[in-house]
Each structure stands twice: as C-alpha cells, then as structure tokens.
Structure 1
Amino acid sequence: MSRQPAIHRAFDSRRRAEIIWRAARRALRDWQATDGAIWIHLLKTVAAGLLALGISMLLDLPQPRIAMTTVFVLMQPLSGMVFAKSFYRIVGTAVGMVAAVVLGGVFVQQPELYILGMTGWVAACTAAAMRNRHFRWYGFVLAGYTAALIGIPLVMQPNGLFLAALGRGAEVAVGILCSGMVSAVVVPRQSGSLLERTLRSRYLNFTAFAAAVLAGRLERGAFEGRFASLVDDVVGFEATRAFSFFEDPTMRSRSGLLSRLNSEFMDACARLHALRQLLKRLHWSDAAITPLAPYFGELAALLAQRPSRNESDRAYARRLADGLEAFQRTLPRHVRETRRPLEHALPDALPDFDTSAELIYRFTTEIVRYSRTWASLMEARPAQEPRAARYVPRTSWHVVAFTFVRTAVVVAALGWFWVETDWSSGGLAMIAAALTCALTSSAPNASRMAVQMAVGAGFAAVTGYLFTCYVYPNVDGFPLLCATLVPVLAVGAFLATRSRIAGYGVGFSVFFCLLAGPDNVIVYTPDLLINNGIAVVAAMLVASLAFAVVFPPHMNWLVERMCVSLRGQVVLACHRELDGLGQRFQSGTHDLMHQLRLLLNGRRQAHRRALRWMLVTLEVGHAVVDLRNEAHAAAWLDLHDARWPAALARVRDAIAHLFESPDGSSLDHALSAVRAATWIVQEALATVHHERERRHEVQRLLSHLHFIRSALLDRDAPLGPLARRARRTRAPRRSSNTQ
C-alpha cells in the first residue's frame, strides 16, 4: 500500500516536468519568432562584421573597413536572402570593377569626361535595377556605385586604379564569405520554412475570403482592400521563392511546382473577382441569381471548413479538394434542372443565369487545382513539373527613364560642383550621391529615405569623430577593439531592422564603417573625417531635395503613364500569342499594380482609382483570354459561320482600342462589336442544339461575351462614367434627328 502513492507521486512529478518542458519549448519558439529573431539577427550581423574585419586585417588588405561595410549591407534575417544577395553582389562588384578600370583607361586624367562617363554608367545601372526584381536589382545597383567607389578617388591617379580594384574585390569577397558563413551556421533561419508558413496562411485566408464573398458578407470597400493585399501576396511570394532557390535544394527542386502554385493562385483570385463583380452587378436579388443561391451557399460552406485539430495540411487540402470536386460533378445536372423553369418563365434572364453558372464552375475548377497543387507540394517526392509557369514581371519604361534622368541629374550636379570648387571631399560627395540614388531607387518614398540616411550618416560622423579621437588611441589589441565596436554596430543593425526608420540604421551602419571604420594602420585625421562627413550628409540632402522638389515620384504624369501601362495589359491579352498568355497577363498586371500601390502610398483617392483600373483590367483581360482560348478550341465555328472570325477580330481590336484610349465613342464601338459577335454565336447555338459538345462550347463563348459586355457597362468601374456620358451625348442627337 505504501508503494502506490509513491508511484503516483513519481508519475505526477514526471507529468508536471513534461508540461513545464513543453511550455518552455513553446515559449522559446514564440520568442524566436518575435523578439528573439531580432536579437539573433543583431548577434549574427555584429559577429559577421567583426569576423570580416579581423580576417581582412589578418590578410593585410588595404581597407578592412570595406569588408565590414559589406557585411552590414548584405545581412538579412533569412539565410536564403543572404545567399541571393551575396551572389548578385559578387556579380555586381565584378562588373563595377571592370567598368571603373575601363572608364579610367578611356578618360586618363580627364576629370570632366570621366565624371560624365561615370554619371552615365551609374544612372544606367540604377535605371536597369528598376527594370528587374528582388536581388537582381541589387546586382545592377552594385555595378553602378562600386565603379564610383573605386574609380572616383583615383580619377587623377590612373596608375593605382587596377590595384585598387583588386583590393576592393578582395575586401568585398571576405565580407560576402563571412556573412554567408555566419548566416548559414549560427542559428540559421531558412527561407523554406517561411515559405511553408506563407503558403499555409495564404491558403487558409483565401478560402475564408472566398467563402465570405460567395456568402455576400463582404462590402465593396473591404473587398477592394483584401484584393489589394492579395496583389502584394503574389509579388511577395515570388520574391520568397527566389530566395529559397539559393538556399534549399528541396525548394530548388520544387521551384517549378511553386511557380505553378503562384500561377494557380492568381487564376483563382481572378475567377473569384469575376464572380463577385457579376454578383454585384446583378444585386443578388435578380431573377437570374436567386435560383443559383443554394449553390453559392453550398460552395461557401465547403470553403469555410477549417482543418481539424489533428489534421495535417495535406490531408485538409485533399479533403477540401475532394468535397469541391464532388460538388462540381453534380453542379451541371443541378444547373440544368434549375434552368428549365426559366426557359419559359424568364427567357431574358438566361444570359445572366448561364454566365453565373459558368463562373461558379470555373472558379471551382481553379480552387480545386490550387488545392491539389498545394497538397502535392507537401509530399516527400512530388511529381516533377514538366514546364514551369514563369512569373513575368513588368515595369513601365517611363519609370525606367524617370529613374535614369533623376540619377543622372543628381550625380552630375555634385560632380560639376566638385570640379568647379576643387573641394577635397567632393569625390566622396559624388560617391554618396550615387549610393543614395541607387539604394533609394526602389523605396516607396525616396526623399524620406534619403533624409533618414543623411541623419544616420550625420550621427555616424559624430560617433566616428569620438572613436577616432578618444577610443582608438586607447585600444590595445583586436579583442578590445571588438568590445568597443559591438554597441555601436548593434545600434545601427537594430535600427535597420525597423521598416519605418530603416534609413537611419542603413546610413549609420554603412557610413560609420566607411568614414571611421578601423584599418590596419589607423590614421588620426579628425579634420578630414569631419569634412568627409559634411560631404556625405550634404550629398544626401541634395539628393533628397531633388527627389522631393524636382523629381517627385508621385507626379501625375508618371502615375498616369503607369496606369496606361496597366491598361495596356488588356491590349496584350487581345493581340499576343495564346501560348502562355494567361500567365504573362496575370503576372504583369499584378506586378504593375504592386508598383502603383508603392508609388501611391498615402494618396487614398489616387490609389483607389488605380486599384479600380486594375480590377477592370484583370476582369476584362482575363475574359478576353478565356474567349480566345474557347474560340481556338471551337475552331469548327470558323467554317460553320464565315462571319465569326471577322467578328471575333473586331471584338479584340475594339476592346484593345478602348483600353488604349478610353472614351465614350471607343466604349460604344466595343459594345457594338461584342453585341454583333453575340448575335452570331446565338445563331450558331440554334443550329448545334442537338450536338452536346458543340453546344457546350458555344454556350461558353456566349458566357464570355456576355460577361465582357456586363464588365464594360459596370456603373461602378472606371468605364461607367464614359458610358453615362456617351448616353447623354447620344440623347440630344437622337432628339434633333427626330425634329
């Protein structure tokens, strides 16, 4: 009897220990995901910077502080980001070294021509960076300001240019190796794990969002806001996928599958938006929609299901896909049964009914494909993707040209001032201007970013002065040097992790290393440091002033040009080759809208107008691509009715012209072309009524044409005022004719 309580006490104590251990592990995971991630990132950044400094000193490189600067420019929270950034930094640095040597050889002791050539090179590289995405942007940026960093100080000493380029390459290589090694070895954070969490949250959020839309529980403003966030999800996912490619061989082998998953997500978003727009135009109470309400409710109930407590994500996605496929198999029969009473009672409602039913079926198809692909991604050995659906980014050439001119003017102005005044720190001012233009080229608010960097550089100069005068003379040995540098470097790295004040951290970290970073032989010239600090801050303030006053990125003409490029996606949908057209159209539209969202940050009215243009562009362009695909599949219709090819070509030309030059007459012409094509297809439907396959193909063509017409007549879309204006101008003309 005495042993029984002892056994129970031992069991209870062991159970309490397990509970405490699980709670501690959960708390540790939560800490690592929040504040712990920041502290670990700071530890890794400072450790990698000091390691690069020590190795460069050991190798007796000319400027070890450049290796430390490289670390602070490179370090990112995720290992994949560091590897990707390191790769493009190596490429960009190599190209910049070659450019510096070539320009120095062509313009020997000709400072004016050299500055002109360097200005053109930096501006071209910065503009090319805007044409690219992710860390490819960084490669072009590095090619520009590395050439300036190497060549400008030696513009009048060409004999030392080649050796300076080699030394700079060695220092950058040390910084790259140290940052990559520390990131991969010390508490690594993998991009693959972040990608998996992103995929899961995106899938769950999208299914809940779709359920709310189908149930009619989402207001217009809430829908537009949520859909705009989906645009950011598409672009952000593509960036994370690019990072994971450099880091994880498993994710690299699944890159094609991940690309297809993103493509299917865009398709599902487009189908959901089209369905919601049609429901909004029919007001849910229309006679064509009311009979379909049970099917909307059933589909919404399926999508509203959440994974059970012990159910894996793969099992949940498969269960949801199986339920959706079962719903889809019975949907055509139920729709036919529901349609029969309308054929005699409300024949005018049949086009809206058929289009709504077709959109339900197509949306279900897309969400099933998306679910199956997500489930297959979590398999141990997923099937090899035969052909990856590529994400094709789009950048307006007006934005590229704007970036080129802005960079060229700022860098050339400071270079001219340097030559005219013979300022001893003028070369560093020009370097700082080139670096500022490059690093702020993709910032939503380049002027504010430049001001933050200037303030950070100012504090860096003051801190560097204190270190040069009072700290370095009293430091004996590398360990003590590291101990004195840790607090300063950690502060800069911490500020750089905060998105709203990141410019302060970047300016402080980078320019403390450049202005006052320790070398093997420390030169105590505080007057030169102060002069260089003034040059750096002045150059950044000049750049900020130019960004805000002379070249503000939110100029109306630039926003309008980007909106024109966005509408041009419909022109692409109308006239480009069909092979891969859907993916090019979707990715380009999302990419341009993402750029507009960054450009119009804080301008609510302009942002809302651009978002509505994006929605109607996505709606009409996707429908045109569907129409062309269905027409290609129903090639027999070309022979059945000789008028059809010309009618389809008129529809494509009229819609393309409407989105190139939106006005009332273009809208009238597009509606007339759609109406004429609809009449031809309706006549063909009557002749193939007893041929099941052909009847279904013709019905799908009718649905696409009817949807395009309803989208063009939408009163809430940007084309709505054009339609109303056209109707007002036609009414007096008709009355005058009758008189």
Structure 2
Amino acid sequence: MNRQPAIHRASDPRRRAEIIWRAARRALRDWQATHGAIWLHLLKTVTAGLLAMGIAMLLDLPQPRIAMTTVFVLMQPLSGMVFAKSVYRIVGTAVGMVAAVVLGAVFIQQPELYIAGMTVWVAACTAAAMRNRHFRWYAFVLAGYTAALIGIPLVMQPNDLFLAALGRGAEVAVGILCSGVVSAVIVPRQSGSVLERTLRTRYLDFTSFAARVLSGGLERDAFEGRFAKLVDEIVGFEATRAFSFFEDPTMRSRSQLLARLNGEFMDASARLHALRQLRKRLRWSDASIAPLAPYFSELAALLAQRPSLKESDRAYALRLAQDLESFQRTLPRHVRETRRPLETAPPDTLQDFDTSAELIYRFTAEIARYSRTWASLTQAGLPPEPRVTRYVPRTSWYVVAFTFMRTAVVVAAVGWFWVETDWPSGGLAMIAAALACALTSSAPRATRMAFQMAAGAGCAAVVGYLLMCYVYPNVDGFPLLCAALAPALALGAFFATRPRIAGFGVGFSVFLCLLAGPDNVIAYAPDLLINNGIAVVAAMVVAALAFSVVFPPHMGWLVERMCAALRGQVVLACRGDLSGIGQHFQSGAHDLMHQLRLLLNGRKQAHRRALRWMLVTLEVGHAVIDLRHDAQAAAWLADTDSRWRQALERVLADIARLFEQPDAAQLDRALQAVRTATWIAQEALPHVHHDRERRHDVQRLLSHLHFIRSALIDRDAPLGAHARQARRRRRALRLRLS
C-alpha cells in the first residue's frame, strides 16, 4: 500500500515536465507563426539590404543606395514571392532603362518635351499595370518609374544617360541577387507549404459552410459575408499559385492541376449559391421543396463529416468523394420515386421540384470532383495535367483610363512646376510623384497610402539628417556603418509589415535609402538633403490631394462602370465561344468583384449592392452556360421543332441586352423570351416521354430556363425593383385591354 503513493510521486514530476514541454512547443509554434515570422522577415530584410550595399560598394558602383533600395522594395515573407518579384523586376528595369535612353535620344536638351514624353510613359505603364495581377503589375509599374529615376536627373546631360542606365541596371541586379540568396538560405519559408495549408483550410471550411447552407442554418447576411470572403480566397489562391511556380518544382509541375482545382472550387461555390437561392425563393412553396428535404439533410450530413485523428487528408477527401458519388448514383432513382405523387400537382410545382433536384445533383457532382482533385495533389507520380483554360483577370477599361488620367495629371503638374520655377529639387519631386502614383495604383485607399508615404518620407528625411550630421562622420569601417543603419532600416521594414500603416513603412524605407543612403564617397550636404526631403513630401502630398479631390477612386460613375463590367460577364456567357467559357466567366466575375470589394471597403451599402449584382451574375451566367451546353447536346430538339433554335437565340440575346442595360422593359422582354422557350420545350416533352435520354434532355433544359426565370424575378436581387415595375406594367396593360 505504501508503494502506490511512491509511484505516483515518482511519475508526477515526469508528467508535469511532459505537460510543460508540450505547452512550450505549442507556444513556440504559435510564436513562429505570428511574431516569429515578423522578426525573421526583419532579420532577412536588413541582412539583405546591408549585404547589397556592401557588395555595391565593393564593386565601386555609382550609387550603392539603389541596391539597398531594391532590397526593401523586393523583400517578401515567402521565398516564392521574392523570386517572382525578382523576375518581374528584372524585366521592368530593363524596359525602363531602354525607355529612358530612347526618350533622352529623341528629346535632346529639350526639358519640356522630355517631361511630356516621360509623363505619358509613366502614365501608360501605370495604366497597363492595372490590367495585370500579382507581380506582373510590378513589372509595368517598375518600367514606368525606373525610366523616371534614370532619365530625369540627367535630362540636360544626355551624354551620361547611357552610363547611368548601365549603372542602375548593375545596382538593381545586386539588390535582386542579395534578396534571392538571403530569402532562400536563411530559414526559407516556402510558398508551396503555405499553399498546401491554404488548400486544406479552404476545403474543410467550405465543406462545413456548405453543410450549414444545406441545413438552412445560415442567415442571408452571414451567407453573403462568407461568400464575399470566398471571392478573396479564389483571387488570393491564384496569387499564391503564381508565387509557388517560381520556387517549387513540384508545384510547378502541378500548376495546371492547381488551376483546375481553383476552377472546380469556383464551380462548387456557384452551384451552392444557386441551390441556396432557389431554396430561399421556394420557402412559401412547401409542396415543391418539402419532399426533397431528406436529400438536403443527407447531403449536409455527408459534408459535415470531419477527418478522424488517424486519418490523413487524402484518405478523408477520398472517403468523402466516395460517399458523395454513392449519394449521387442513388439520387435519380430516389427522386423519381419522390416525384410520382407530385405528377398530378400544378406544372409550376413540378418545375420547382425538378429544378431543385437537378441543382442538388449538379452540386453533388461538383463537390465530389473537387474532393478528388484535392486528394490527388498529395499523390506522387501524377502524369502531367493537360492544359486547361487559365484564370483570366478582368479590369474595366474605364478603370485603366481613369488610372492613366490620374497619373498623367499629377506627374505633369509637378513637372510643369519644376520647369516654370527652375526648382533645384524639382527633378526628385517629379520622381516622387511618379513613385506615389505607381505604388498606390492598386491600393484600395490610394489617398491614405499616399499621405502615409509622405509622412514616412518626412520621417526618413529627419532620420537621414541625423545620420548625415551625427552618425556618418563618427563611423569608421563597414561593420560600424551596418550597426548604425540596422535599427533604422529594421524600423521601416517593421512598419511595412503592419497593414494599417504599410504606406508609412514603404515611404520611410525607400526614401531613407534614396535620400540618405551611404555611397562610396559620402557627400555631407544636409541642406541638399533637406531640400530633397521637402520636394519628396510636397510631391506626395500633391498626389494625395489629387487622389482625394480631383480623382477620388470611389466616384459613383466609376463604381457603376465596374458593376457594368461585372454584369458584362453574363453577356460573355450568352455570346462567347463555348470552349472554356465556364472558367473564363467565373474568373472574370470573381476578379471584378474582388476589385469592387477593395474599392468599396468601408462603404457597406454600396458594397452590398455590388455583391448582389455579382451573385445574380453568377446565378444567371452559370445557368445560361449550362443551358447552352445542354442545348448543344440536345441538338435533336431543333430538328424536331423548328421554333426551338430561334426561341433559344432570343433568350440569349434578350438576357444579354438586359444585363447590358437593366430596366423594366428589357426585363419584360427577357422574361417573355424565357416563357416562350419554356412553352416550346414543354410541348416537346410528351412526344419524348418514352425515350428516357431525350426526356432527360428536355427536363434539364426546362430546369435551366425555370431557374433563370426565378433568378430574374427574385425580389431581393438588384433586378427585383425592375421585376415589380414590369408586373405593374403588365397589370396596367391587361386593365386597358379589358
């Protein structure tokens, strides 16, 4: 009896030590994922910056500060992001060098014409950047302001322009090399591992979200908020996939598989939304939706399953895919049995039932396909994936023209002031204006970012003055120089990692290097530094005021044109080539909505309106694509009834016109076209009743037409007001006729 307490006394310290060790490991992992990642990024950034400065000094390059500036513009938390940005920076720098030399050769010692040509070049590059995504945007931006950085200081010295371009290229190359080496050698963070975690989280979250939607446990506002986040996940996934392509050969070989996975996720999301919307519209029609309730519940229960502790992600996804496919195989038979008692019901009730059953079947197929594709990512030895239609970003041409005009006006105004006043620091002011316009072109709040960059540049000028007057004269040797610069550089890099003040960090880091970065022979000219600092801050304040007063990005007409571009995806669904149209439609709609989300951040009412336009665009566009595909498969119907082809063409034409110019009259014509096509298909149904395949073809066509009609008259959708107005017009017309 005395042994038992002794045993417990002996085991308690070991158990306590094990518990403490596990808690410490968990805390260490949490710290590494949050604050540890930030400190690692700061260490790598400062190390790469100082290394680039030292190598540039060793090679006796003209301005080592440019190599250091390159590092602070280039460094990112993930290695793949650094490699991708490096590639595009090389391309952008090369193009900018050529542009600077060409403009200098064309406008020799003609500052007015040179500034005009440089303004057009910077504005064109910044506008072209808006048509691209991720770091391809950066290549266009860099091509613009690199030409300004090289050419503007030497506008009256064309003989030195070519050598300056070569020197700039060498300095940028040193910065790129140091960034890539440090990012890949010092505790590298791979984009591929981040992508794998993102995929796992997205899959588990989406299946849980779908289970809640199917069980009816999600309110409208919660659904719309979660669906808006799905848009960001889809666009963000494409960015991470692009980064991993540059770093991981495994991810590079599976790039097409990842693209297909993202396309299937968009399809599953759109199907889920369509199913939820139809179920919401039928809430008062229990006779059509109530018999399908067991299938909704069974599908929700399947998706609500979570992986067991000993089950791998691949095994869980394969098991869920098998369960979903088993459910899908038995669904048609169960639906036919459930439908028999309803065959004497009114035609509208039967149509609601058939449409709901068809959507359940298609959503199950999409989520099962998505599950199998996700499971296959972890399988070794996969054959190369055939090329699929790639993610196609979309930007309204109005946004591109708006960006061009905004950049041209700001840069031209600063350049004109420089020429008229012969301001000694006017060239640097014009460079700062070009930088401000370029770096804020894709920012959701350009005005705030420009003001933050101005504040950062002002603080950089103050810190640079202290360095030049009190630090550089007392520093002897490169190690002491690095020790003196490291705290200021780390502070700027830290601010750049904070989303709310990232503009301040970028302005501080970049302009501390440009204004007060050390060269091989340091010129102690604090008066010049102060003048240059004032010029930089003034130019950025001018840019911020222009963004806020003259060209505010949230102008009503611009938002409306972007919504029109979003609705234009339905026009693409109606008129575009069927080959690969699904991916093209989906990616364009999600990309435009992502831009609207950034633009309307903080404006809840406008954001909700834009989101509802996106939802009805997805509903109708997806249904139109399905209708066109199934009509192509049921080509026999056009041969049987000559009216069908013309009716289908009218449906597509009227829906396209409705989304080009939504109003009550266009909506009335579109609804009439849908009703006419529905009547023709219903007349064909009795003639093919004994031919199972053809009967199913007609039923699918009717389901698509019925869903399109229900989406167009949804009272909660943006077209709901036009639908009510169209109903009043029809009632007034009937009263006049009677």
Q: What is the TM-score of this pair, normalised by structure 2?
A: 0.98
C-alpha separation in 2, matches of 1:384 and 1:441? 38
Report the alpha carbon displacement of residue 217 of structure 1 after superposing the two structures with TM.
0.6
Structure 1 letter corresponding to 2:201: S
User: Which residue is equivalent to 2:634?
Assistant: 634
Cα gap change, 1:13/1:250 in structure 2, threshold over 3 Å: closer, same or farther?
farther
Partners of 1:343 and 1:350 within 8 A in 2: yes
User: CA offsets, 1:392-432, max 9 Å, x none?
Assistant: 11000000000000000000000000000000000000000
Deviations 1:368-389 (A, max 9, x none): 0000000001112234211233
Residues 1:234 and 2:229 are matched in the alignment? no
Q: Which residue of 2 aligns with 1:27?
A: 27
Written as runs of structure 1 = structure 2, the 5 A alignment for 1:268-287 is 268-283=268-283, 286-287=286-287
- Write the distance in 1 (CA, Å) between the matches of 2:97 and 2:198: 39
**How far, CA to CA, are the matches of 2:384 and 2:640 in structure 1?**
41
Distance 1:272 1:285 in 2: 20
- CA-CA distance at 1:692 after TM superposition: 1.0
How far is 1:663 from its partner?
0.9
2:389–2:584 CA contact under 8 A, matched in 1: no
> After the TM superposition, which residues 510-521 of structure 1 pair with which residues of structure 2 at under 5 Å, given as runs?
510-521=510-521
Q: Hey, what does 1:558 align to over in structure 2?
A: 558
Q: Which has the higher mean CA deviation after the structures are superposed, 435-444 or 14-23?
A: 14-23
1 CA distance for matches of 2:232 and 2:5? 60
Whole-angstrom CA distance in 1 between matches of 2:345 and 2:447? 64
1:620 matched to 2:620? The reply is: yes
Aligned counterpart, 1:95: 95
| 2:48 aligned residue | 48
**1:259 paired to 2:259:** yes
**1:31-88 Cα distance to aligned partner (Å, 9 max, x none):** 1101100000000000000000110111111000100000000000000100000110
Partners of 1:156 and 1:587 in 2: how far apart?
Answer: 48
**Could you give the per-residue CA deviations for residues 510-543 of structure 1, whole angstroms, max 9, x where no partner exists?**
0000000001100000000000000000000000
Partner residue in 2 for 1:196: 196
Q: Which ranges of structure 1 fall in alignment gaps of 5 or more residues?
A: none
Q: Tell me by how many angstroms 1:636 deviates.
A: 1.2
Query: 1:712: which partner in 2?
Result: 712
Residue correspondence of structure 1 range 359-374 to structure 2 within 5 A? 359-374=359-374
Q: What per-residue deviation string (whole Å, max 9, x for no partner) do you get for residues 477-509 of structure 1?
A: 000011111110010000000011001100000
Question: Does 2:138 correspond to 1:138?
Answer: yes
Residue matched to 1:396: 396
Q: CA deviation at 1:733?
A: 3.5
CA distance in 1, matches of 2:260, 2:180: 30
CA gap of 1:144–1:345, structure 2 versus 1, over 3 A, is closer
Higher mean displacement: 182-191 or 729-738: 729-738
Aligned to 1:603: 603
Deviates more, 1:679-688 or 1:534-543: 679-688
In the superposition, relative to structure 1, how do residues 285 and 305 fare at CA in structure 2: closer, same or farther (>3 Å)? farther
The answer on whether the counterparts of 1:665 and 1:726 sit within 8 Å (CA) in structure 2 is: yes
Contact 2:66 2:172 (8 Å CA) reproduced: yes
Q: Is 1:420 matched up with 2:400?
A: no
Q: SS at 1:594's partner residue? A: helix
Does structure 2 retain, via aligned residues, the 8 Å contact 1:460–1:509?
A: yes
Q: TM-score, normalised by structure 1?
A: 0.98
Aligned equivalents of 1:22 and 1:253: distance in 2? 38
Distance 2:449 2:48 in 1: 26
Alpha-carbon distance in structure 2 between the residues aligned to 1:386 and 1:167: 44
Q: Is the 1:288–1:352 Cα contact (8 Å) retained in structure 2?
A: yes
Q: 1:347 to 1:709 in 2, by over 3 A?
A: closer
Change (3 A) 1:168 1:345: closer
- Please tell me whether the aligned partners of residues 256 and 389 of structure 1 are also in contact (alpha carbons under 8 angstroms): no
Is 1:184 matched up with 2:184? yes
8 Å Cα contact 2:259-2:391 kept in structure 1: yes
Pair 415,295 (structure 1): closer, same or farther in 2 beyond 3 Å: same
Give the letter aligned to residue 392 of structure 1: V
Residues 598-643 of structure 1, C-alpha deviations (whole Å, 9 max, x = no match): 1111111111111111100110000000000000111111211111
1:225-257, CA deviations, whole angstroms, 9 ceiling, x for partnerless residues?
111000011000000000000111110011000
Match of 2:574?
A: 574
1:211 and 2:228 correspond: no
Bigger Cα displacement from structure 2, 378-387 vs 121-130: 378-387
Q: What SS is found at the alignment partner of 2:390?
A: coil
Equivalence for 1:644:
644
User: 1:81: which partner in 2?
Assistant: 81
1:332: Cα distance to partner?
A: 0.7
Q: Please give the alpha-carbon distance, in whole angstroms, between the structure 1 residues aligned to 2:261 and 2:376.
A: 10
Task: Please give the alpha-carbon distance, in whole angstroms, between the structure 2 residues aligned to 1:427 and 1:586.
Answer: 45
C-alpha separation between the residues in 1 aligned to 2:602 and 2:9? Answer: 63
* Corresponding position: 1:243 with 2:232: no
Question: Are the counterparts in 2 of residues 450 and 541 from structure 1 also a CA contact under 8 Å?
Answer: yes
SS at match of 1:693: helix
Structure 2 residue aligned with 1:354: 354
Is the CA contact (8 Å cut-off) linking 1:284 and 1:290 kept in structure 2?
no
Distance apart, 1:27 and its partner CA: 2.8
* Structure 1 match to 2:698: 698
Provide the alpha-carbon RMSD of the alignment: 1.7
Q: Which SS does the other structure have where 1:287 is aligned?
A: helix
In 2, Cα distance between equivalents of 1:729 and 1:578: 36
- In the other structure, the counterpart of 2:655 is 655
Question: What's the secondary structure of 1:531's corresponding residue?
Answer: helix
| Pair 731,12 (structure 1): closer, same or farther in 2 beyond 3 Å | closer
C-alpha separation between the residues in 2 aligned to 1:83 and 1:68? Answer: 17
The 2-side partners of 1:349 and 1:241 are apart by 45
Residue-by-residue CA offset, 1:415-460 (whole Å, 9 max, x unaligned): 0000000000000000000000000000001000000000000000
Question: Whole-Å Cα distance in 1 between the matches of residues 608 and 701 of structure 2?
Answer: 32
Query: Is 1:263–1:389's contact at 8 Å kept on the other side of the alignment?
Result: no
Change (3 A) 1:378 1:284: farther
Aligned pairs (5 A) from 1:430-445:
430-445=430-445
Residue matched to 1:500: 500
Q: CA deviation at 1:5?
A: 12
User: Deviation per CA, 1:293-338, whole angstroms, max 9, x where unpaired?
Assistant: 0000000011111111121111111111111111111111110010
CA separation in 2, counterparts of 1:487 and 1:305? 50
- Structure 2 counterpart of 1:311: 311
Residues in 1 aligned to 2:311 and 2:285: alpha-carbon distance in whole angstroms: 38
1:170-196 C-alpha deviation (Å, 9 max, x unpaired)? 000000000110000001111011101
The count of aligned residue pairs is 737
Cross-structure match for 1:60 = 60
Secondary structure, in 3 states, of the residue corresponding to 2:583? Answer: helix
Secondary structure at 2:343 match in 1: helix
